[in-house]
Structures are given as structure tokens and as C-alpha cells.
Amino acid sequence: MSGWIKIYREITRHWIWDNPSYFKAWISILLTVNHDDNKVLINGEIIECKRGQSLYSLEGWVKVFGKGWTKQKVRTFFNLLKSDAMINTEGLRKTTRLTVCNYDKYQNMQHADNTDSTRTQHGLNTDSTPNKNDKKDKNEKNEKSLELRETKFISEVYQNEIYPKEMLQKFISYWTEKNKSKTKMRFELEKTFEISRRLTTWASRDKNYNKLKKDNDGYDFTDQFVREVTRDL
């Protein structure tokens, strides 16, 4: 079983990126659908579920997406995805079949298989070529691992919906900056990193966020919250 999905940077220009709740739900869909063909037993009936598909009721997707989701919100979200040719849905008697369009774009193992077979074939011919291919393969795996960690970090940051999207984007841009060797992000170089506490500190220093809070509430609750948190440290 593959433990990763591919997320291209172009998603930052996609409409789904602008809605943290929708973005998190979309990532959940990609992580939930089957990575290979399968058959599922539902209420005594065997139903085929192919690669890139899932068999969940609307209530099931409400549970997958988590807090703040309702059946109506799921319907609205799915209609948006279908209008943009991102998914298809098929109502079955006992469930709903969801299909991610162009699923291979997010998890295509062909390239990885070709890399392994090429390395094996070349190993029969020379002693030096395998070392080069091993290094290339290692670099590719590191890149995939880095992208996965970055995607996970972004998803976790966007769960903090109490903060403005612009502030979260700046926070992400700063803490996901890569080191010189492109193997780690800035937040991974910290001894400890708790997103909620870091966001609290970031918000306390963000002039636009504090101005917005003062304009809306007439009081800077962020500073008060920071004082309460740090008082117990």
C-alpha cells in the first residue's frame, strides 16, 4: 500500500485553496478513496469499488470531514467538485459511489515501478550505474516525502479557521521554507513546534490581524489570550 499522494503546487491557484474547509475536505477525499480495486460488503451485498473510488453515504462523509459539516454542506461541496470535473457520484441503492476524476494524477505508481526496474536492469551491466540510480531514487523519495509532510502541515494549519486566510498563508509560507539541501522545512528545524501556540504568537505580532480584531471588537483579545497562555508556562 502506498502511503502518499501527489499534490502539485498549482493547487495554490485553485479555487479550493481559498476555502480552508473545502481544501481540507478535498485532501480527505484523496486520502480516503481506494488506491486499488476492491470489493466491499454493504448490508449483505457485495459492491465493487475501483481504484480512485469510495463507497460512503452522505452521513459517512459528514463523519470523514469532521466538525462543522452537515449533509447539505456535503451535497453543496460535491456539486462544486462535479461542476469542475473533479469527481463523479453515482447513487446506489444502499450507498453512494464517489469517483475522483484523473486519480492517477494524485497517485501514479508507474514512475516508481519504472525506476525500480531500470535500476535492476542496469545493475546487470555495470557497477557504477546502480549507485547513480540509487541516488536518484533516494532523491525522488525524499522529494515525495517532503511534499507529503508539507501537505500535512498546510492541512493542519488551515484547521485553525479562527484566523484570517491571508495570515495563515503568510504563516505557511514562512514555516515551509526549505533548507539549502531541500530536505527539511523551517518548522522541522525547530526543537519543538506546536502549530496552535505558534499561530497565537504569530497573530500577536500580526498588525493587520490585531487591527481587524480591534475594529470588530474594540479590544485586542489576542494580546489578552497570549498573556493568559504564557502566564501558565
Q: Is residue 21 part of a domain?
A: yes
Domain end position, chosen among 72, 105, 138: 105
Predicted confidence (pLDDT) per residue in 143-178, tens digit = 667 888 888 888 888 888 888 888 998 999 999 999
Band (109; pLDDT cuts 50, 70, 90): low
Return the pLDDT at 82.
94
Q: Is residue 146 part of a domain?
A: no
What is the amino acid identity at position 135? K
Q: Is residue 62 part of a domain?
A: yes
b/e map of 86-99 (b: 16 or more CB within 10 Å)?
bbeeeeeeebbbbb
Domain end position, chosen among 105, 122, 147: 105
Q: With the CA atoms of 227, 228, 232 and 233 taken in that order, what torsion angle do they form, in degrees rounded to the nearest 10? A: -40
Residues 40 and 101 in one domain: yes
Residues 89 and 162 in one domain: no
Q: How many Å apart are CA 208 and CA 105, to the nearest integer? A: 38
Is the pLDDT higher at 117 or at 47?
A: 47
Residues 95 and 180 in one domain: no
**% of the chain surpassing 70 pLDDT:** 71
Q: Is residue 192 part of a domain?
A: yes
Q: Is residue 212 part of a domain?
A: yes
Domain end position, chosen among 105, 121, 142: 105
Task: Count CA atoms closer than 13 A to 88's CA, side-chain side.
Answer: 8
Residues 101 and 169 in one domain: no
- Average pLDDT on 105-117 reads 54
In three-state form (DSSP H/G/I as H, E/B as E, the rest C), the secondary structure along the chain is: CCCCCCCCHHHHHCHHHHCHHHHHHHHHHHHHCCCCCEEEEECCEEEEECCCEEECCHHHHHHHHCCCCCHHHHHHHHHHHHHCCCEEEEECCCCEEEEECCHHHCCCCHHHHHHHHHHHHHHCCCCCHHHHHHHHHHHHHHHHHHHHHHHHHHHHHCCCCCCCHHHHHHHHHHHCCECCCCCCEHHHHCCCCCHHHHHHHHHHHCHHHHHHHHHHHCCCHHHHHHHHHHHCC
Q: Is residue 167 part of a domain?
A: yes
Q: How many Å apart are CA 23 and CA 15, to the nearest integer? A: 9
Band (41; pLDDT cuts 50, 70, 90): confident
Threshold 0.85, pTM exceeds: no
Q: Is residue 96 part of a domain?
A: yes
Residue 165 domain boundaries:
158-231
Question: Quick one: how far is CA 35 from the chain centroid?
Answer: 16
CA distances from 93 to 36, 47, 103, 191, 232 (A): 23, 11, 25, 52, 55
Instruction: Identify whether the C-beta of residue 119 lies closer than 8 Å to the C-beta of residue 134.
Output: yes
Q: Is residue 151 part of a domain?
A: no
Residues near 109 by Cβ (< 8 Å), separated by ≥ 6? 2
Domains in the chain: how many in total?
Answer: 2
Residues 166 and 92 in one domain: no
CATH number, domain of 88, equals: 1.10.10.10
